[in-house]
Amino acid sequence: MIKLNLRARFVLVLAFAVSLSACKDEENPTTVRPQLRKTVDYAKLTDTTTYANFFVDDAGVKTVDLTTGANRLLMFRAINTYNGTAVSTGATLDATVLKNMFSNTSNPFSGTANAALNSSGVQLRNVTASSLSATDAEKERTTIEAGFPKIATASKSVTATASEGKAGKLGTYLVDEQGIEWAQIIQKGLIGAFQVDYIGNVLLSDKNLALDNTTLVTGKKYTALEQNWDEIYGIITANPVYGGKATTTSSGESFIGSYLWEYNQEDFAKVHKALLTGRAAIVNNDLTTLKTQAAFIHKAMEKAIAGAALGYLNKWKTGTTDAARAHAMGEGLGFIYSLRYATIAKADAAFSDAILAGLIGAPNGFWGLTNAKIDAASTAIKTKFGIQ
């Protein structure tokens, strides 16, 4: 019997392993281990680094594709713009059109900027509340859709002046007979149910952060994990540099991107760097750094919507006209609905629904609000989120 010393055994094992790897790579030439790209130096990432152009493969070809996230952000914007036409042009809205835009069915998108969305292959509905069980997710999607006939009906009264029990406009805001501004409920509700939940609880989940990062997606220049992170960027911002257009009076962003600026200034300036660093950590196969950035972004979004809910409750109290108070309450109610997706704070639907019922559970809705109801809602949110 031939006896091998330890070094010889190691050489044989190593040679066998290399031969197996070579065979596998010949079968699938896009598979490379342990790291697909050259290591990215984190120190080269700055607040003005352009996300889409920075990350390239070893041949210098871009590996970032923001299309999926960007298309979903465009769909969100299209719904919001359509709702705005009731006030801006006096248009009567169609609930079926809104439902089709939400699910991207029956070619609902039009215009140079949006027509291509019809064939994009993505939608908002199936990623809304998608961290929940199938039953609970469907319940929340139905809740969002219930707002479509509400705003459509209210739009028929856009030329009237609203009052208790009568739909119409308060100032420049369209409200229903209970004084509820459905355009804000839908918009702020989707910030939570789509952006915060899908990004924070799905795309940034441990399950998704463990997606394959060694094999290119067929026909693409990115891995599944890289695309997962790129979708986050595309959903948060349409700008090359998140926050790059911010001024002292404007975020230069929209939806959750804007409310990070307005209600979480502390983290707003750090978000772009976190998005860059997370993408670089994926390149570097640096799971520790990746999870640190993921946790930061997730928490920053939750802090923003909690701050926004409190901010608009306070604006109801400081509002000097019914129009100002109704608008503040429309935004506030939408953000309070969204708090159910704040999983870091351990909020849920029961928490969110209890606050909503305490505020507008009465038949006259907005018109029945009191300082005591506002204070009770604010206290509940501050307690849950640990806000002083």
**Spans of all domains in the chain:** 66-385
163: β partners: 166
* Sign of the C-alpha dihedral computed for residues 26, 30, 34 and 36 taken in this order: positive
Bigger pLDDT: 303 vs 1: 303
The confidence score (pLDDT) of residue 33 equals 59
Count the neighbouring beta carbons within 10 Å of the beta carbon of residue 100.
19
64: β partners: none
Site of tokens 């019997």: 1
What is the spatial distance between Cα 225 and Cα 214, in angstroms, rounded to a whole number?
9
Contact 191, 257 (CB under 8 A): no
The confidence score (pLDDT) of residue 125 equals 98
Question: Taking 90 as the threshold, does the pLDDT of residue 48 lie above it?
Answer: yes
The confidence score (pLDDT) of residue 189 equals 98
**361: which DSSP letter?**
-
Q: Tell me the mean pLDDT in the region 13-42.
A: 56
Predicted confidence (pLDDT) per residue in 322-335, tens digit: 999 999 999 999 99
Question: Taking 60 as the threshold, does the pLDDT of residue 16 lie above it?
Answer: no
Question: Taking 60 as the threshold, does the pLDDT of residue 317 lie above it?
Answer: yes
Q: Containing H/E element for 174? A: strand 173-175
Question: Taking 80 as the threshold, does the pLDDT of residue 381 lie above it?
Answer: yes
Question: Taking 50 as the threshold, does the pLDDT of residue 4 lie above it?
Answer: no
Q: For the chain, give the mean pLDDT.
A: 93
Q: Tell me the mean pLDDT in the region 11-33.
A: 43
The pTM score is: 0.91
Contact 239, 221 (CB under 8 A): no
- 347 confidence band (pLDDT: 50, 70, 90): very high
- 18 confidence band (pLDDT: 50, 70, 90): very low
